[in-house]
Structure formats: C-alpha cells, structure tokens
Chain A
C-alpha cells in the first residue's frame, strides 16, 4: 500500500507542477481558424507581432474556409478566416454582426502543357468554352485566332480542375460566372462545383502534377504555385481588352479598380482597370463588430490595425498582393468601428 501512496503523491506533485507552469506563462491567447491560402503570411504576421506586443500570442488553425466560417459563427474562435465572403444566409445565422476584413489577394493562372511551350493568349470566351467542354481541341478556330503565331496541334484539351474545395476554385468559378452567362446558369460559383468536364486533382500540387504529366492539359493553379514551379501560363484578356500576364501589381490594380461595397464582401474578378488581371480574389478575416471580451477585443483590434499598416508590407515577399492604399484606408476606418 505504501507503494501506491507514494505513486499517488508523485502524481499529485506532477499535476501541481503542470498547473503552475500553465499559470506562469499567462499570456493572452487569441485563437483563429480558417483559410489555408493565406496561412503562410498570417503565421509570418503572428510571429512578427510578438515583437510589437509580447503580451499577445496567436493560435491559428488552417482548417479551411468552411471550418473558419463555422467556428466564428459558433464563437469557438476569436476570429475566422475565409477565402470567399460569407453568404447572407450564414451571416444571418451568426449570433452577432460579423465584419469582413480583407487582408491580401492572390490570382489564378491558366497553366498548360503543350509541346514546345508556346506562349499562349486566351480570353473570356475561350476559357469558358474550354471549361464548359465546348472547345475540345487545341487547334479550335477561337484559340487559333487569338494566337496567330503559335503552332497549335490537333490534340484534345485535357481540362484539369481542383477536386478539393478551395478558394482557388472560388475565384476561378467567380470569374467564369461573370464572363459567361451559360456558366452562371449551369454551374455557378463555389469552392467546389459540378464540373461539366475534366479531371480533378487534389490541391495545387495535384493539379500542377497532372498538367505537367498530361500532354495537352490545361488547368488553373494559384499564381504563387505556378511561379515557384516554373509552369508556363497564359496571358489573359481583361475587361478593358488588354492581354495581361498575372502579377502582384496586376492583382493590386484589380482591387483598386473593382467596385468595393462597404461590407467588403467584394469580388475583384474581371475588374475594369486597364492593368487589372481578371482572375484574382482576396481573402478575409472575420471578426464580430461587438467583441465579447474587452481586453481581448482591444488587443485584436490593435493587431488588425498593425496588419493593415505594417503587415501589408510583408505581403510581396511572400508572393501575396497587398491591398491598394485606398482600400487600406477604408478598412482601417471599419476596424475602428469594432466595439469592445
């Protein structure tokens, strides 16, 4: 029996020790969850922010936009994150008024695999045609007309799309819905849709892998991913009629020229600016206008302001497009309205 007693004593000691160590590191923990696309820059921000305010720590789980929306609605986290704006339906189900705070943006590129890697130009008509399964061959007259110099083979176009739900797909289908009434009616906009044609790859790496391995393939991947993997991608004709290579500048230009409503649930695809790349989208943080916990709310607001002012400067190094200054000013004003 003494043995058992001694063991219990040890156990008790251990528990107390744990309890003490937990109280010793009493820092404020702000919890967030959501989108995976901005995860690299968010974790960079959280890390950098410990130097600005050592009393706050962030815990961010990149569980996907769906999870981010669910958790902020259930108030299990202090902020959510999503690659697509929340639907009216979901917003009305939330227990309080949720604000959308845009942070950074990215773009989808049209990547392809053609013998000889010819530079390609595509427009809304051809992209929608290919993804609706109406343009089936590389030497389709519509594609040839846009690329008079390139040699296009009599080869089937193998369409590759994302199979997992993703913000990348949201941007892509948002673009297609805007430029093609047929797409809007038949398919629509979402993080995953009922694809009329093509094969599905999991993640950017899955789509990129299938494009690289399949002669005649065409699909969409995130700009960063295409750049880092040196994949050829097409110039796309924008709403102003100009062919543009996707770049961080052309994404920021799209945000500067898009119609942005006051609740910031905007879409920047097919923006009107002359230098605006047409297939891009922003990502958002989701926070309640009325914060429950006053001290936590205050710290969160301080962080959000810092992210808009100083955090944005880190975006380009990590291949994210920062918000244009006009929009930043509007967002900062909105952050000031958060009550705690």
Chain B
C-alpha cells in the first residue's frame, strides 16, 4: 500500500486554464484522463469496501476492542490489533528518524556540492539500492546486519543510553530497532531521489541571489535552497513514510514477530503488514481470516490517517512561514 502524497509543484509553473477546448479530440482527451483518474479513486474505495466487507464478522464480534486490546490468539480466537499498530508506527518512525537526515543530506550533496563527474554514478548507485528485492534485503538483514548490530552498535547504544527505557533489556538481535533500520534502508532511495529532483528544480536565480548577498555555501543551501524546497521535501518524506508503513517482507525477517508493546527498542515487535503476510495462507477458521482482513483495514486506515495528518502539518507549516514572510 503506497501513500498518496502530493508533491507541490512550484508556483507559476502550473499551466493556467486556457480557452475551453472546442475540438472533439481535446474533449475526448479530457474525458479519458478524467476516467483514468476516477478509476484510481474508485480503486481506493473498492479496496476499502472489500476490506470492510471481508472483516464484517470480526468487526461485529470484537468491535472497538479490536483496536485497543493486545491479545492475538488464533486458538482461542481472541484478536486485538494494538501491538501491530504500535509496531507499524514505531518501526516507521525509527525509519524516518534515520532515513530523513541521511536522504536529504545525500540529495543536497548530489545537487549542490558533488563534483559533476561523480553525480551520475552516485545517483545510479542509490537507485540500485531501490532495486534490491525486499526478501533479499531481509536475508541480508538476518545473516549480516543483525549479527553486526548485536555485536557492535547495540551494546554501544545500551552503554550510552541504557539509562533511558528505550535501550534496556537483553540484546537478541531481531528487534524493533533492527526492523526500523531495515525499513530506513528501504526508504532511503525513494526519499533521496525525490528530494534530489526537488532540489534540482530550485531555480538557480535563488542561489545566485544568495551568493550575491555574500552568503557562504552552507547559508546558500540553507536559506536559498532548502527553505525554498521545504514543501517538496516534506512531500518526499511522506512518500517514504507511506512505503515504510506498508513494508512487509524485509521487516518480517528481522523484527522478531512478537506481538507485544515494549518500551525497549531491543525487544522484538510486529507490524500489521507482517502479521497478514505471515498468517494469511494458513488461516482456516472464518473469524481468524476475518480478523486478518480487519488488520488490513486497520493498516489502510492508519496509512490514510497518517497521510492526512502529514498534509495538515504541511498546511500549518506553510501558513506559518507565509505569515512570517509577511512580518
């Protein structure tokens, strides 16, 4: 499930409404594109409707409790989604915390600082990262990343931040943190690519004006480029978040798949997408299957909700900056 995010096009570049089309071809074209757009919207509604229909029994049986209880017991047919919702949100948050600074820094380097000859090879390399199938990344996670994390960075984190509840308890390897890190690796390329495109679309006039005012390179990047592209960068992050929420295979392989809510990031967790992928094929009873469908519905809802919140945040952010600009 990918997020729908709007990457704002810079002002002025959007073509204004022209004279109403009179020729048949133009009108047909309009109808065609409208039809296509409607199909996409219809698809979203159909998915939602189908998920709701597929889980009607579970919704009736568990009601609101489904969202706020944490027992997941296929034998006793007791189902609660809270640990999965928690795991999905926390692993995505960890991924964003790691991936956003890295991606944007990479994009800035690629558009502002890197020597020209190195840009294209670097871009290709980053795009290659996006081409790695997630199951391969997961296997790499089990056999390479987790042993390394367990032996070096995790003990260091525990030593440095062991006084916070986030980094306490025994270190096994498969954990919420490992899940977040693998998602970070997976969303890095998309955030980087989109950010790079956005930074590239910042007009050179901006940079030149800042240089003319005597700004240093850092100041130019900060004032003229980053703040100009802020909205677009935010869109790039939202795209990444959408991927993070729905990421399944690689996460399943490293997160430990234990439905629990634990403060420590060293403890294993579980995500909505993972439990569906894990249990769907072997679910035999109706209620069990319906509960899995309902998890799908919840994931659908969480994704939409997070996106709406992000749009809202973007709006308040731009409004604030607009008022600041006026003052």
Contact = CB atoms under 8 A, between A and B. Distances in A.
Nearest to B281: A64
Interface string A60-102: 0001111101100000000000001011011000000000000
A213 B252 contact: no
A199 B76 CA distance: 21
A178 B148 CA distance: 40
A210 interface: yes
B143 A199 contact: no
Contact of A90 (B252, B277, B280, B284): B284
Interface in A151-194: 156, 158, 163-167, 187-194
B290 interface: no
Contacts of A66: 280-284, 289
A334 interface: no
B155 interface: no
Interface string B154-175: 0000000000000000101110
Contact of A191 (B142, B270, B277, B284): B284
Contacts of B78: 194
B71 interface: yes
Interface string B270-312: 1000100111111111000100000000000000000000000
A169 to B, nearest CB: 8
Contact of B278 (A90, A165, A205, A210): A165
Contacts of A193: 73-75
A290 B52 CA distance: 36
A194 B257 contact: no
A328 interface: no
B253 interface: yes
A129 interface: no
A190 B279 CA distance: 11
Given A156-B170, A213-B147, A194 B75 contact: yes
A137 to B, nearest CB: 12
Contacts of A158: 172
Nearest to A199: B256
A209 interface: yes
B139 interface: yes
A192 B74 CA distance: 7
The size class of the interface chain A forms with chain B is 35 or more
Interface string A197-228: 01111100110011001100000000000000
Interface string A33-45: 0001000000000
Nearest to B135: A202
Contacts of A58: none
Contacts of B66: none
Contacts of A201: 142, 174, 253, 257
A191 B282 contact: yes
B122 to A, nearest CB: 32
A113 to B, nearest CB: 12
Interface residues of B, number: 36
Contacts of A198: 258
Given A64-B281, A66-B283, A165-B281, A210 B74 contact: no
Contacts of A164: 277-279, 281-282
B268 interface: yes
A325 B258 CA distance: 42
A194 B278 contact: no
B84 interface: no
Given A158-B172, A187-B75, A206-B253, A192 B279 contact: yes
A165 B282 contact: yes
A213 B289 CA distance: 33
A86 B285 CA distance: 10
A161 to B, nearest CB: 9
A138 to B, nearest CB: 14
B239 interface: no
Contacts of B72: 194
A156 B284 CA distance: 35
Contact of B285 (A65, A67, A89, A202): A89
Interface of B: 71-76, 78, 138-139, 142-143, 146-147, 150, 170, 172-174, 252-253, 256-258, 268, 270, 274, 277-285, 289
Interface of A: 36, 63-67, 69-70, 84, 86-87, 89-90, 156, 158, 163-167, 187-195, 198-202, 205-206, 209-210, 213-214
Given A66-B284, A202-B278, 20 more contacts: A66-B281, A67-B281, A69-B284, A87-B285, A156-B170, A163-B252, A164-B279, A164-B282, A165-B278, A165-B283, A189-B75, A193-B75, A194-B71, A194-B76, A198-B258, A199-B174, A200-B278, A201-B257, A202-B253, A209-B139
11 contacts: A65-B282, A163-B274, A165-B278, A191-B284, A192-B279, A194-B76, A199-B256, A199-B257, A199-B268, A202-B253, A210-B142
